Amino acid sequence: MERSKCLEAIYPELHDKLVVTIMGACAQELYNLGHRENFFYLQHAMGLASSIGLGLALHRPEEKVVVLDGDGSVLMNLGTLATLARYRPKNMVHIIFDNGSLLSTGGFASHTTSGITDLAAIARGAGIEHVATATNPLQFGEAVLGAFERDDLSVIVAQVRAVGPDKYGMDLHLPENAFRFRRHIAQRKQLAVSHEQ
Amino acid sequence: MYLLQRLEDDPEVQLIEVAKEEEAIGIAAGAYFAGERHLLLMQNHGFLAAINGIVSLAQLYSVPLCMLIALRGHWGEPYPWHTKGGIVTEEVLRALKIPFEYARDPAKVGQQIREAYTFAQSSLSPVALLLTRDLMED
């Protein structure tokens, strides 16, 4: 299974959610499908995408927050799984693409290579109730749709091949992405309030 | 009374406790994107452990951070294990170009926190208020 195909499959479902991705290949593949104002690409600070997701989810409970993470990033911040379990944001879906590789920083093997470290088991052990694994597109699609419909924190560990895009580059400066993402969230909030009135 | 206990009891504050300080940088950024105010509370060794997040998230993306940093390992510190971190904290803050102030007077610390928050927001930058031993209750 390829991550780019997974992203392609869920892309139509992302328009009404807040999406945070990790750096490198994952960010680029999402961007290549078409940037949207509700996407934030964390191009550095490995490990913190899920922490940003938690901060968003707790403070915008009416929004669904989707974090597109990776094995290398999660391994740099394993404590995040325990913090997520403790605060259990009902509106957050944490998708971890596990390619067993630090692909965007040189393609070196990560601890999950050949199944040595089991991130789904760590997530369960951290206290997260809804943890799914996916090794093929059908499983992935079902797990994601289930998580989008569920009113509870969900973690999905998707095993994907260690391949990325041929070219890198975005017409989007990093602070520009942050400013626009924040403004977009404020506009959605305002729109939601005006709909209620 | 411990500050954390007071924060836990305050209905206007949502206290989020983390496993490691760098997580809090991400959570604060998320809260900022969500349009909410935040304060970060950590010890200076936690600040030292959070530097990559401060540099590669907050500074890289112009996200304001208002950090209240309990300064251990400074004048009057009796415990050896705090001293190395305490000695380098100010130099690290300077190297990172993070504006900082010392808070020494309990009567003034409230105003200092408000000013730190205002400056973080206007500069879109991390700022630090160093909470010294003078503020600690016996």
Q: What is the pLDDT of residues B89-107, one digit of tens each?
A: 999 999 999 999 999 999 9
As a whole number, mean pLDDT of residues A154-164 equals 95
Average pLDDT of the residues in A83-91: 98
Residues of A in contact with B19 (CB under 8 A): 79-80, 82-83
**Closest chain B residue by Cα to residue A175:** B61
Contact status of B99 with chain A (Cβ, < 8 Å): no
pLDDT tens, position by position, B14-56? 999 999 999 999 999 999 999 999 999 999 999 999 999 999 9
The pLDDT value recorded for residue A17 is: 98
Instruction: Report the distance separating Cα A70 and Cα A157, nearest Å.
Output: 9
- Percent of chain B residues topping a pLDDT of 70: 98
What ranges make up the beta strands (E) of chain A? 18-21, 39-41, 65-70, 92-98, 101-102, 108-109, 130-134, 154-159
CA distance B54 to B48: 10
Nearest Cβ partner for B36 among A50, A59, A87: A59
Mean pLDDT of A145-167: 95
Chain A: nearest CA to B14, how far in angstroms?
9
φ, ψ dihedrals at A161, nearest 5°: -75, 150
Q: Is A90 a residue whose pLDDT tops 60?
A: yes
Task: Please indicate if any CB of chain A lies within 8 Å of the CB of B86.
Answer: no
Helices and strands in chain A, H and E counts: 8, 8
Which residues in chain B have their CB less than 8 angstroms from residue A175's CB?
60-62
How far CA A135 is from CA of A3, B29, B77, in Å, comes to: 11, 32, 54
**Residues A69, A70, A74, A75, Cα dihedral to 10°:** -170
Say which of B27, B53, B57 has its CB closest to residue A54: B27
Average per-residue pLDDT for chain A: 95
Nearest by CB to B19, which of A79, A179, A186?
A79
CA separation for the pair A171, A185 (Å, rounded) = 21
Instruction: Quote the minimal CA–CA distance from A45 to chain B in Å.
Output: 5
Across residues A42-69, what is the average pLDDT? 97
Longest C-alpha distance within chain B, in Å? 42
Q: Do A56 and B56 touch (CB under 8 A)?
A: no
Would you give the DSSP letter of residue A80?
H
Instruction: Mutate one of A17, A48, A77 to test the B interface: name it (highest B CB count within 10 A).
Output: A48
Say if residue B138's pLDDT is above 60: no
Instruction: Give residue A22's pLDDT.
Output: 96
Interface residue A179 vs chain B (CB under 8 A): yes
Among B103, B20, B97, B110, CA closest to B69:
B103
pLDDT at A123: 98
The larger pLDDT score, comparing residue B4 to residue A182, is at A182
> Residue B69 in contact with residue B129, Cβ under 8 Å?
yes
* pLDDT tier for residue A181 given thresholds of 50, 70 and 90: very high
Average pLDDT over residues A69-92: 97
The answer to whether B123 faces chain A, any CB pair under 8 Å, is: no
- Residue A106: the pLDDT is 77
Under an 8 A CB cutoff, do B30 and A83 touch? no
**Residues from chain A contacting residue B59 (CB–CB below 8 Å):** none
Contact (Cβ atoms closer than 8 angstroms) between residue A144 and residue A130: no
Residues of A in contact with B24 (CB under 8 A): 51
A115: pLDDT strictly greater than 90: no
Res. B73: pLDDT tops 70? yes
CA nearest to A87, candidates B35, B26, B14, B30: B14
CA B68 to chain centre: 3
For residue A79, give the nearest of B23, B33, B63 by CB distance. Answer: B23
**Average pLDDT score over chain B:** 95
Say which residue, A114 or A75, is predicted with more confidence.
Answer: A75
- What is the band of B1 on the pLDDT scale with cuts at 50, 70, 90? low
Q: How far is CA A93 from the centre of its chain?
A: 7
- Across the interface, whether the CB atoms of B30 and A178 are under 8 A apart is answered no
